[in-house]
Amino acid sequence: MTAASLVARCVHGLEPTVAAEILRRGLGTITHIGHREVHFRASRALALNIRTADDVFLLAAQGPDVGASRQGVAALAELADAADLAALARLRRDHGGPGALTGVEVSASFLGRRNFTRYDVEDAIGYALAARLGVGYHSRRGGAAPPPGHSGWRVTLDGERATLLLRIAARPLHRRAYKRRSIPGTLHPPLAAAMVAMAGIEPGDTVVDPCCGAGTLLIEAARQQPGARLYGFDLSERAVTAARENAAELPVCVARADAGRLPVPDGGADRVLANPPWGGQVSFGGLLAASAARWWAEVRRVLAPGGTAVVLLPGVGELPIGIRHGLTPVHLQRVRLAGAESFLVRWTAPR
């Protein structure tokens, strides 16, 4: 199979995690790491297995960034002219995507202030691509979702370069097929996958998510480490039902319990994975409504000596509380998702 230039797009802050996953799993060789993207070369059709990326694309064409002025937008159509569409269709199929390019939809983003909108960019390129392919173009300007089967193109302007990408899969990779049920505050699956990777779960490890919601962390853990024993708890019956349904075909045990009093023996968890309800879309209920500090005490109690917890924090203000409960933060990674900053923190319990 011909080697292809691929681009994995990701949550800002996860670029090193995505690069590490590509290298660790032998999926390709890294050629460039930029804002929310990792460029790599791959000659095997494995890119669609990357779990920490939002999506994976073929690099279709690159040119200079057109700057801030509205007049520059028309020049972006040259990217569409430069793309080798027959080769891209072949590579997309070789790497596990659909064969024919039967319609076009484009999603654009740029860094910095511009005197044009993303829709101006999308339409400039979309109409040019559709004309070359002799297929229909779906503009996102009206707000309607693109019809199924359209090829997904992406344009980024990063201040230096304009880049045109073609999505390999029929739909974005971050939309996991297992997520049949959702709940408020449910975790973005690639972020959950990054937390699982950070936890370094070994075969046979007991992994606990004290506030499992729809089960995203445990399902991603099952995919990365099928030999782990996975237990999820949540106060909400709706969340428990959602997690059970989402994890249906996986060995994940889910039960209704309060994270302030987990049905787990002292030192019974080798790993804790958690995205607790810090008061954004969801708040602590039950025993933790009065004192969220008790959450840390319970995590400390269930963690085995030398055990690891990976916790998503809304800010560094929670760090001293975890430390006061005897845990040591050993790795901290800042991420930015949908405009909000969060921190992935790996903690260890004393031996």
Ligand X SMILES: C[S@@+](CC[C@H](N)C(=O)[O-])C[C@H]1O[C@@H](n2cnc3c(N)ncnc32)[C@H](O)[C@@H]1O
Residue 314 interacts with ligand X (CB under 6 A): yes or no: no
Q: Does 183 bind ligand X (CB under 6 A)?
A: yes
Output the smallest distance, CB 136 to ligand X, in A: 36
Binding pattern for the stretch 287-306 against ligand X, x by CB under 6 A and - elsewhere: xx------------------
80 makes contact with ligand X (CB under 6 A)? no
The residue behind tokens 């040259």 is 78
Q: Could you tell me the two tokens for 293? A: 């500090």
Please report whether residue 285 would count as binding ligand X according to CB under 6 A. yes
3-state helix, strand, coil in the chain (%, to 5): 30, 30, 40
Q: Backbone phi, then psi, for 11, in 5-degree steps? A: -60, 140
Cα 245 → chain centroid: 21
- Write the interaction track for ligand X spanning residues 230-249; mark x where CB under 6 A is met and - where it is not: ---xxxx--x----------
If one asks whether residue 286 binds ligand X (CB under 6 A), the answer comes out as yes
Q: How far is the CB of 214 from ligand X (least distance, A)?
A: 4
CA-to-CA separations, 167 to 46, 84, 107, 298, in angstroms, rounded: 14, 15, 11, 43
Confirm or reject binding of residue 211 to ligand X (CB under 6 A): yes
Stretch that binds ligand X, among 14-22, 24-32, 134-142, 274-282 (CB under 6 A): 274-282
CA dist 56 and 173 (Å) reads: 7
Q: Does 272 contact ligand X by CB under 6 A? A: no
Residue 300: DSSP 8-state: H
Q: Is 342 in the site for ligand X (CB under 6 A)?
A: no
Q: Does 217 bind ligand X (CB under 6 A)?
A: yes
d(CA 240, CA 181): 10
| 186 near ligand X (CB under 6 A) | yes
H/E element holding 240? helix 237-246
Cα–chain center distance at 347? 21
> How far are the Cα atoms of 105, 221, 323 from residue 148, in angstroms, in the given order?
10, 30, 49
Residue nearest to ligand X (CB): 213
213 contributes a contact to ligand X by CB under 6 A = yes
Check binding of 97 to ligand X (CB under 6 A): no
Minimum CB–partner distance for residue 268 and ligand X (Å): 17
Q: Does 195 bind ligand X (CB under 6 A)?
A: no
Give least dist CB 218 to ligand X, A: 9
- Is residue 232 a contact partner of residue 209, using CB atoms and an 8 Å limit? yes
Contact between 106 and ligand X per CB under 6 A: no
Using the rule CB under 6 A, which residue among 50, 58, 73, 259 binds ligand X? 259
Those residues whose C-beta lies under 8 Å from the C-beta of residue 222, and which sit 6 or more positions away, are 228, 230, 247, 250, 251, 252
Output the six-digit token pair for 33: 């790491």
Q: Contact region for ligand X (CB under 6 A) — 112-120, 150-158, 208-216, 223-231?
A: 208-216
Nearer of residues 157 and 217 to ligand X, judged by Cβ: 217
| C-alpha to C-alpha distance for 142 and 241, rounded to whole angstroms | 36
Residues that bind ligand X (CB under 6 A): 183, 185-187, 211-214, 216-217, 233-236, 239, 258-260, 275, 277, 282, 284-288
